[in-house]
């Protein structure tokens, strides 16, 4: 065989046929060692218990937040959000064990069957519900609290290549409307509602709602959002509110000008001019 048709194994240096697509020879591939699983890891034990607990809470959340849910069989087999989150729970367990291939593979399977991409490194609390779910992306360092509802097209994405936490942190009792994008290491507080198609790049305080591009924070004057709140379309329009204030101001100025003109006319008539 011509020497030009050979290349070397990147591990042992053995000559390989250039037609091979792999960078390791068969001997090195067969000798690959799998990582040692440390079952005494406290975080592993805790996460294993959480899988069972979260399984119940995730399924219950589907019934609490979707009036169309009729049976457990229907939810488990027909809800892409449930399939994605259950696969994520298992993948996250392997991620904690530092076995990267298995959780990433499970994540890819979840994306193929549900259209939802959840990185196994993300941390997600209980009572998490994804409604419909197509085209959702949740990044590796995302942290999501309890009782969070996400609609289709949502992205929790990063904006930096630096070795820092590039993804958002979401609090408890949060609703994220369809198509919303939360980008960067921003912090979303508790009891927050994010409107459909909003783009959020700044921190959001508790008991607030966000709408628009870029997202504008609209306070609810301390009014706590209900624990189960699916009205992600029932949102104020801050632009409309500004226009309304401008219209009111114009009307006030016109009335004032009319009154001044009337007073000037009366004074002029009184002087006999």
Residues recognised as catalytic: 167
CA–CA separation, 131 and 152 (whole Å): 7
The Cα 271–Cα 273 span in angstroms is 6
The angle, 0 to 180 degrees and rounded to 10, between the axes of the packed helices 101-114 and 80-96 is: 170
Return d(Cα 65, Cα 51) in angstroms, integer. 21
DSSP state of 4: G
CA 192, 128, 47, 137 torsion-angle sign = negative
* 154, 181 Cβ separation under 8 angstroms: yes
Task: Report the alpha-carbon distance of residue 93 to residue 38 in Å, rounded.
Answer: 12
Q: Please name the helix (run of DSSP H) or strand (run of DSSP E) that holds residue 17, with its range, or none.
A: strand 15-17
Name every residue whose Cβ is closer than 8 Å to that of residue 125 and which is 6 or more positions away in sequence. Answer: 144, 145, 146, 147, 148, 172
Contact 174, 192 (CB under 8 A): yes
Q: What is the DSSP secondary structure assignment for residue 3, as one 8-state letter?
A: G
Smallest Cα–Cα separation from 127: which of 188, 179, 173?
173
Residue labelled with tokens 């805790």: 46
Sign of CA dihedral 241, 204, 198, 222: negative
């Amino acid at each position: 065989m011509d020497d030009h048709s050979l290349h070397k194994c990147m591990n042992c240096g053995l000559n390989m046929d250039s037609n091979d697509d792999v960078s390791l020879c068969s001997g090195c591939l067969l000798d690959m060692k799998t990582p040692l699983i440390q079952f005494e890891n406290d975080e592993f034990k805790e996460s294993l218990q959480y899988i069972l607990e979260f399984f119940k809470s995730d399924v219950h959340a589907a019934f609490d937040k979707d009036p169309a849910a009729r049976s457990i069989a229907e939810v488990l087999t027909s809800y892409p959000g449930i399939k994605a989150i259950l696969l994520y729970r298992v993948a996250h367990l392997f991620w904690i064990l530092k076995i990267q291939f298995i959780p990433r593979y499970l994540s890819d399977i979840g994306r193929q069957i549900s259209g939802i991409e959840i990185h196994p490194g993300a941390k997600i609390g209980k009572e998490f519900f994804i409604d419909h779910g197509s085209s959702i992306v949740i990044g590796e360092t995302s942290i999501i609290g309890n009782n969070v509802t996400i609609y289709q097209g949502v992205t929790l994405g990063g904006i930096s290549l630096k070795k820092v936490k590039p993804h958002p942190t979401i609090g408890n009792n949060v609703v994220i409307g369809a198509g919303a994008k939360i980008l960067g290491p921003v912090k979303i507080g508790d009891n927050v509602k994010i409107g459909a198609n909003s783009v959020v790049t700044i921190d959001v305080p508790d008991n607030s709602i966000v709408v628009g591009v870029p997202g504008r924070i609209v306070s609810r004057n301390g009014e706590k959002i209900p624990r189960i709140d699916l009205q992600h379309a029932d949102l104020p329009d801050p632009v409309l509110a500004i226009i309304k204030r401008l219209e009111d101001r114009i009307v006030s100025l016109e009335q004032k000008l009319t009154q001044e003109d009337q007073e000037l006319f009366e004074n002029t008539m009184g002087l006999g001019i």
